[in-house]
Structure 1
C-alpha cells in the first residue's frame, strides 16, 4: 500500500516533467522561428508601401461604422450583467476584467461579420499584393491573373477561387467555450489568447496554402512541423486584432505580415525544407525536361 502511494506521486512528477520539457522545447522552437515578429513587420511594411493601402481604403468607412456599432451595442447590453457576475468571482478586478471580456466579445462578433461580409476580398488582395511587392509573381499567378505594371495591387486580376476560411460554426462554438477563461484574473485571459493564437496562425496562411496548391494532408503536415512558429505568430496577431475599432487595421497588417513570412519561406526554400506541393514540383520537373 505504501509502495503504491510512493509510485503515484513519482508518476505525476514524471508526467509533469515530460510536459514541462515539451512546453520548453516548443517555446524554444517558437523563439528560434522569430515568427512572432511578423505581425509587427507587417505594420511597418504596410506603412511604408502605400499601394497596399488601397484594399483597406475601399472598406474603411463601412468597417469602422460596423466596429463602432458592435462595440457600443455590446457595452450597452452586456456590460452591466457581466460585471455583476464577475464581481462575485474576482471582486477587486471585476471592472477591468469585464471591460476586457466585453471587448473580446465585441471583437469576435465584429471579426465574424466583417471578414464574412465586408473585407474578405480586400484581405486576399492585400496578401497577394504583398507577395507581388516581394517579387513572388509566379506564386500568385497559380491562382489568379496578374497584369503588367509597377503597382502590386493594381496588377491583381481575376481570382480563380476564394481561399480565406470563413468563421465556421465549430470555430465560433470553440471561441465561446473558451470565453469563460476570462473569468480567471490575468492567467485566464493569457490562456484564452494563447488558445486563440494557436488557431489563428495557420488560418493566416490559408491563402498561401492555396497558392502552393497543397492538399489537405500536405497542409496538415506543413502546419504540424511549424506548430510552435504558427502559435508564436498567432498570439501577438490575436492581441492586435482585439483592439476595438483599430482591430480592422491590424487585420490588414497581420495579413501583410503573414504574406511577408510566406515570401521569406519561399526565398529560403532552396536552402531549407521544400515547401512546394508535389504537383507544383512535378510541373517544374516536366518543364525542365521539355526545354
Structure 2
C-alpha cells in the first residue's frame, strides 16, 4: 500500500512543480509584454536615424570596427563552420545547416563584442548613451558622472568622464557563454533557449551606464534588476538577435545603446528614481528650506 501511495504521490508532485513553473513563466511573460521593453531596440534604430548628432561616435570608429567585425566573421566561418556543422548534423539532421550558421554568428558576435567593446568602441558607446540622454533633456542625470558643456549639439556638449563605466568582459561571462553552447544541439528549441539566456544577461548589461549615472550601489542595482528581470530579458532577446547580424551587428550595437538610453529616459520620466538620487533631491529641498 505504501509503495502504491508513493507512486501516486510522485507524479502528483511533478505535476505540481510543472504547474508552478508554468504559472511563474506565464507571469514573467505577461510582465515582459506589459513592459514593452522589447520595442526599445527598434525604437533605438528609428531614433538613431532621425538624430544625426548620434552618428558621430559611430562614424569616428566605423572603419576599424567594420574591419574587425568582417575579419572575425570570415575567420570564424572559415575555421569553425564545417566541423561544427558535422557535429550538429548528428543531433539536428538537415536543420544543422541553419543552426550552425546561427551558432557561428553567435560565436563571432561574442568574440567581436569582447574585442570591440574593450579596445575599440567602449568610449563611443558611452558617448552614444549619454548623448541620447541629452537629446531627451536628461542633463542633470548625465552631469552626475561627466562634464556637460554648453551648446546646442548634445554629443558636442559631452565633456570628460568622471569614471569609466563599462566593466570589462569578465571570465565568468565567457564561461557562461560556453556552458550554454551545447543547447544548440537541440533542434530549434535549443537555439531559441540559447538566445533567450544570452538576452537575459544582455538586458542588464545594456543599462550599465544608467546604473552608474544613478549612482546605484551593488545591492540597489541587483534589486532594481530583479524587479524588472522580465523586462530586461524582453529587451535583451531582440537586441542579441540584431547584433548577431554579420557586419551590421556593429551598427546595431550603437542602436541598441540608443534604445537602452531611451528606456532609461522613460524610466526617469515615470519616476523610477534610485535611492541615492532621491536622497540627494530630498537634501536639496531641505537646504532650500
TM-score, scaled to structure 2: 0.97
For structure 2, the 5+ residue unaligned runs are none
Q: How does 1:4-19 map to 2 (within 5 A)?
A: 4-19=6-21
1:70 is aligned, of 63, 69, 72, to 72
Provide Cα deviations, 1:229-281, integer angstroms capped at 9, x if missing partner: 11111111111111111111000000000000000010110xxxx42223x22
Q: Which secondary structure state, in structure 2, belongs to the residue aligned with residue 158 of structure 1?
A: strand
Match of 1:127 in 2: 129
Equivalence for 1:283: 280
* 1:99 is aligned to 2:101: yes
Determine if contact 1:165/1:203 at 8 Å carries over to the other structure.
Answer: no
CA-CA distance at 1:127 after TM superposition: 0.2
Q: Give the Å deviation of 1:87.
A: 2.0
Q: Give the alignment of 1:149-164 within 5 angstroms.
A: 149-164=151-166
Q: Distance in 1 between matches of 2:267 and 2:19?
A: 34
Question: How far, CA to CA, are the matches of 2:129 and 2:171 in structure 1?
Answer: 25
SS of equivalent residue, structure 1 residue 9? helix
Structure 1 stretches of 4+ with a deviation exceeding 4 A read none
Q: Distance in 1 between matches of 2:285 and 2:88?
A: 65
CA distance in 2, matches of 1:18, 1:85: 36
SS of 1:244 mapped into structure 2: coil
From 237, 241, 244, give the equivalent of 2:243.
241
**Could you say which residue in structure 1 is the equivalent of 2:217?**
215
TM-score (norm 1): 0.96
d(CA) in 1 for partners of 2:15, 2:213: 46
Deviation at 1:290, TM superposition (A): 2.2
Return 5+ residue gaps in structure 1 as ranges. Answer: none
Counterpart of 2:263 (choices 261, 269, 276) is: 261
Displacement of 1:86 in angstroms is: 1.7
Following the alignment from structure 1 to structure 2, what is the Cα–Cα distance between the partners of residues 230 and 165?
18
Secondary structure of the corresponding residue to residue 90 of structure 1: helix
2:120 is aligned to 118
Alignment partner of 1:184 out of 179, 183, 186: 186
Provide, for residues 88-140 of structure 1, a one-character-per-residue CA deviation record: whole Å limited to 9, x for no partner.
22221122222221111111111110111000000000000000000000000
**Residue in 2 aligned with 1:39?**
41
Structure 1 distance, partners of 2:18, 2:268, is: 38
* Secondary structure of the structure 2 residue equivalent to 1:161: coil
